[in-house]
Structure formats: C-alpha cells, structure tokens
Amino acid sequence: MKKLLLRLLLPALIGTYFSTATAQVDKDVLNWYNTKKTGMSTDKAYKKLKKRTPDTVTVAIIDSGIDIEHEDLVGKIWVNKDEIPNNGKDDDNNGYIDDIHGWNFLGNADGENQDAARLNVTRIYAQLKPKFEGREEADISNEERKEYELYLETKEEVESNREKYKQAIEQTKQFRDQMLPMLPKMIGNMIGKEDYTMKDLEKWKPEDAQGKQMKQIGIQLKSGKLTPEVIDEQIEQIQSMVDYHYNPDYDDRSLIGDDPYDLTDTNYGNNDVEGPDALHGTHVGGIVGAIRGNDLGGDGVANAVKLMSLRAVPNGDEFDKDIALAIRYAVDNGADVINGSFGKSYSSMPKAVYDAIMYAQENGVLFVHAAGNSAEDLADNPNFPAVMYDFQTEPFTHLLTIGASTREHKEELAARFSNHGAEQVDIFAPGAEIYNAVPQSDYKELQGTSMASPMVAGVAALLKGYFPSLTMLEIKNIILESGDDFSDTDQKIPGGDELVKFSTLSVTGKVVNVKEAVKMAMDLEEKKQEEQ
C-alpha cells in the first residue's frame, strides 16, 4: 500500500501541492523575477529610466477579482472618474451602474456572487445529455452526427474525471494519514542520515526518479510547505472538482439570472470587483503593479499603473460571454493592456471571444494571455481563448501568449507545468515561485502561466508609460525582440525529462528582459522623433 500510494501521489504532490506556499518566503525567491540574474532585469531597467516621468497606464485584470484595499495596492486601483459612487445610477452611460473600479460579471443586482462553476466540457455535456442520453448510434441522423460525437466525447471526459477525482480524494486522505508521518524517516534512510538538515537535502544527489522526487518532498517538508493543512487544502480543491467542475447537474448560472449564451443580455453583474475569493486576481494584479520598493511582498513590474478589476473567472471555467463583455468593457473604459490569466479546453462561443479580441486590436489595446498549465503542446491540444481560431484567416496582431519560466536556467528553464508551442506561445516569462499579494493584505507564493502573463502585461504597461509615443503593436514587438535568447540551449520539455532545444517551445525561444526592452524602446523613440 505504501509503495502504491507513493507512486500514485508523487506526481500530484510535486505538481500541485507545491504550487502554493505559506506566507513565509525563501530569500532567494523573494522578488527574483525583478532582481535576479535569472529574472527579467526589471530593477536594472528602472535605473535607465531615472530621468523620466512616466504617464499612468491602465491595465485591465480579467480574473477572479482583486482586493482593492490591499496595503500593497494603495493608489494602484483604477477609478472611473465619470461615475458617482453608490448613487444607483449609470452616470457615464456605459451600461454599468456604479462601476467605480471595474465590474463583476459573476454576480447579480442584489450583490450576490457566484464562485464555484462547472468546466466548459461539463456544460456542453449537460446541454447535450437530454438530447442523446439512451439513444443508440444507429438512431442518430447524419445531421446530428457531429453533435452526437461531441456528446460522447464530453460524456467520457466528464464521467471518467469525476470518478478519477473521487478516487484521488480517498488516496490523498490515505497519504495524509498513513504516508506523510513516515516520509521523514523514509527520506533519512535514503540519505543515510536520520537527523538530516536542509543542507543535507540540498547536497543529496539521488540517481533514480523516485529519489529525485523524494528529495523535492524532503525540501518541502523541511521548509514547512508540505503539511497536513496543505494536503487538506488540496483535498478541498479536489472535492470541488467532483461537486462543481465535473458535476453536470450543478447549475452555475441560476444565481446570476442571465442567459449566458446571449451576448445581448447584458443587464447582470454588480460592482463588487473583489468577490468571495480574490486570491488569484489579487496575486496577478500585484505582479503587474504592486508598490515598488516598500519591502512588502514582491514588487510590481510597472510603477505607474492603475488596475481595472473585471471579475469574470470563477472557481471553474469562465463563460465566454463574460470574457467577451469584459474585454469590451476594458477597451471602452480606457485600458491600454488587458491581462487574461485564464483558459480552458472547450469553448461554447468562440466567435464572441474572437470578436472581442479583434475589437481590442482595432482599438490598439494589447491582450496578454497565459498559455496554460497542462504541460501540453498547444499545437496538439486546444486552449481558449485560442491563438488562432479555426475560422480565423489572419493571425491576431495585438495578442501575446506567455509560457512560464523558472529561475533555473540549466535544463529547467521552462516550468514543468507550462504549456508550450513553437508557433503558439510567443515568449516565456517568470511564472514559478512568484511571491506577491493575496487578499487581506497578505502575501503568498504561487506559480503558473497565470503569473507569467502579468509579468508581460506589466512590462507592456511600463513601456507604454515611459514611452507614450510608441503604439502597443510596437511595444509588443519590442518585448519579443528584446528577450534573452535561449533558443539553442537544451531544456527539459515541460512534464518530462526529454531535452529539447528551447526554440521548439515558443516562437522566439526567448525569456522577457525588461532592461533590453527599455533600451530598444529608447532607440525606437529617438528614431521616430528624428523622422518627424
């Protein structure tokens, strides 16, 4: 039983439990993405900008919500100056009442908020189930064939995952109760030292895969990042997958009261831009614009920025309608950059989201999107919003798709969880071990392409603020051209141990470098001035 539990749960422990940490942070992790040699050289970039005064740039954060009262975001929250607070009127006639700091697309007019939601695959299965359940394939007409095949595909995915996660809950409980207390002794036996220290663990050089995984677990145990409380949190997350994500009978829209598939039904939501669980969105917003140099948490990338909070990402998959309307809201209300740290494998309204991204593009707004955390090649596995839709004839010009890099450049530059794609992912940015703001003026270490995307959104905002004459298209190109080139280096492919050239994982084979981006922006600005 011990070996079986260890074999089943080690990958989950390495990939999921360690994606979050306690409020304590290792000094080597703190702010590494701005300061360390392996980071983006943000602090060095600011030294080159000392004599300049930046314009303020608005960045829309489409996410789970932002704690707008966070101590490290004071003065960083966007304010709709054309709206009179709390008078119950749409003063600026933009269609949203009292939208002072943005809008919550996951609530109703009574101030109630939706949190848990199904995955989109589950929604599709639930829609098709009444039509096809119990029918034989021989009874399916040619007109119904494509829809029927989608029904079978989604049914298999939903039902198999629901059963898998039920089993995972029991296995994880067994790990917590039976295996966790024994791990310190097991690791000690493998090292050959009962009272081992963190230094002993760091010096240990196991040769087999299990030994390497046990080393990582030992480090997490010693640092207090793997505890019964952390495992309980994981069990709660897995339970939500059973209760909500893969539950076709769960109604994840009744509280809101709109038709989620009707773009013209816009009379919903409220102005609670924080919502019930703003951890993810606050962290993302903090990466973009947390106050720099105040010794609280990690520094934001951009110093002259306002964060517009658009709550549209629940605990589950976002609705395409909410994303489309949130993008349009951001554009219409003055955002220069939009960050989208969300994504899913199925889309019910792809044209609506495509049209919204095109609307941003036509208005010169840059949309920065996370590549996703499934360690998959996006050429083979869909992720929405898509880099290029099936019906699309020309690629987006104002879209950046971001993979996650680490602070370990030798063979482990691409984060083990990051999606990748030689033609789908534009560039990588720091996304592992990122310490920044979470609600209640607290701080936490998280990781994911969700953290890499706001790094780049922050860089875009920084460049736009200091170089306002540059267009967002020019800024996008600067970010791509100025990155540190790792194309010819051998790196482990995310999710495996195979070494591949880093050039095969993204379009550029680069990691964002803010210092070099600033230098390039200075050169372009000077050139444009000379041409005038």
The answer to whether position 88 is within a domain reads no
My answer on whether 296 and 151 are in the same domain is no
DSSP string, 434-480: EEEEETTTEEEEE-SHHHHHHHHHHHHHHHHHH-TTS-HHHHHHHHH
Does residue 352 share a domain with residue 216?
Answer: no
How many Å apart are CA 382 and CA 373, to the nearest integer? 12
What residues are paired with 229 via a beta bridge? none
Domain shared by 186 and 53, yes or no = no
* Statement to judge: residues 353 and 305 lie in one domain: yes
Residue 374: what are its φ and ψ, rounded to 5°? -105, 10
Indicate whether 494 belongs to any domain.
Answer: yes
* Residues 283 and 137 both lie in one domain: no
Q: Is residue 46 part of a domain?
A: yes
Tell me whether residue 8 is in a domain. Answer: no
E strand or H helix at 516? helix 514-531
Helix, strand, coil fractions of the chain, as percent rounded to 5 = 40, 15, 45
Q: Looking at residue 207, what is its pLDDT?
A: 87
| The two three-digit tokens of residue 440, written as one number | 């209640």
pLDDT of residue 24: 64
Strands 484-485 and 510-511: antiparallel
Q: Give the three-class secondary structure for 178.
A: helix
In a domain, 178, yes or no: yes
| Token pair recorded at residue 316 | 């589950």
Q: Do 497 and 421 share a domain, yes or no?
A: yes
Q: Tokens 């460049």 correspond to what residue?
A: 463
| DSSP assignment letter at 384 | B
Contacts of 461 (CB under 8 A, 6+ apart): 57, 59, 288, 289, 301, 302, 304, 305, 336, 337
Report the alpha-carbon distance of residue 109 to residue 179 in Å, rounded.
48
Contacts of 339 (CB under 8 A, 6+ apart): 59, 60, 61, 62, 63, 284, 288, 368, 453, 454, 457
Report yes or no on whether pTM surpasses 0.85.
yes
- Kindly state whether residues 52 and 157 are assigned to the same domain: no
Domain boundary among 194, 227, 245: 245
Element (H, E) at 288: helix 279-289
Do 103 and 173 belong together in one domain? no
Closest CA to 200 of 182, 180, 221, 176: 221
Angle, CA 70 vertex, CA 464 and CA 240 arms, to 5°: 100
Task: Name the token pair of 54.
Answer: 């930046």
Q: What is the pLDDT along the chain (532 residues), one digit of tens a residue?
A: 333 333 334 444 433 333 343 446 778 899 999 987 789 999 999 999 999 999 999 999 999 999 999 999 999 999 999 999 999 999 999 999 999 999 999 999 999 999 999 999 999 999 999 999 999 999 999 999 999 999 999 999 999 999 999 999 999 999 999 999 999 999 999 999 989 999 999 999 998 888 988 999 999 898 888 899 999 999 999 999 999 999 999 999 999 999 999 999 999 999 999 999 999 999 999 999 999 999 999 999 999 999 999 999 999 999 999 999 999 999 999 999 999 999 999 999 999 999 999 999 999 999 999 999 999 999 999 899 999 999 999 999 999 999 999 999 999 999 999 999 999 999 999 999 999 999 999 999 999 999 999 999 999 999 999 999 999 999 999 999 999 999 999 999 999 999 999 999 999 999 999 999 999 999 999 999 998 8
Distances (CA, A) of 144 to 149, 228, 287: 9, 50, 47
| CB-based contacts of 328, cutoff 8 Å, min separation 6 | 356, 359
For 144, residues 6+ apart whose C-beta sits below 8 A from its C-beta are 132
CATH number at residue 482: 3.40.50.200
- As a whole number of angstroms, the distance between CA 269 and CA 259 comes to 12
Could you tell me which residues come within 8 angstroms of residue 94 by beta carbon, excluding any fewer than 6 positions away?
82, 329, 332, 333
Only one residue has tokens 């922050």, namely 458
192 and 325 belong to one structural domain:
no
Q: Do 405 and 490 meet the contact criterion of CB atoms below 8 Å apart?
A: no
- How many folded domains does the chain comprise? 2
DSSP string, 96-149: -TT-SSEEETTB-TTS-B--B---HHHHHHHHHHHHHTT--GGG--TTTHHHHH
DSSP reduced 3-state for 20: strand
Structure token digits, residue 424: 């789908």
User: Is residue 13 in a domain?
Assistant: no
Number of residues that make up the chain:
532
Q: Does 205 share its domain with 298?
A: no
Angle between helices 279-289 and 449-466 (to 10 degrees): 40
CA 382 to CA 346: how far, in whole Å?
8
241/315 Cα distance (integer angstroms): 9
The phi and psi torsions of 443 (rounded to 5 degrees) equal -145, 150
Range of the domain at 385: 31-78+98-107+276-531
Whether 115 maps to a domain, the answer reads: no
Sign of CA dihedral 141, 147, 150, 155: negative
Same domain? 211 vs 317: no
| Any domain includes 281 | yes
Asked which of 196, 226, 245 is the last residue of a domain, the reply is 245
Rounded to 5°, angle at Cα 478 from 310 and 445: 45
List Cα–Cα distances, 420 to 82, 380, 451, 495, in angstroms: 42, 10, 15, 11
- What Rg do the C-alpha atoms of the chain give, in angstroms? 23
DSSP secondary structure, 213-244, as one string = HHHHHHHHHHTT-S-HHHHHHHHHHHHHIIII
Cα–Cα separations (whole angstroms), residue 516 to 36, 431, 474, 513, 519: 15, 20, 14, 6, 5
Cα separation, 479 vs 506, in Å, equals: 14
Residues 103 and 141 in one domain: no
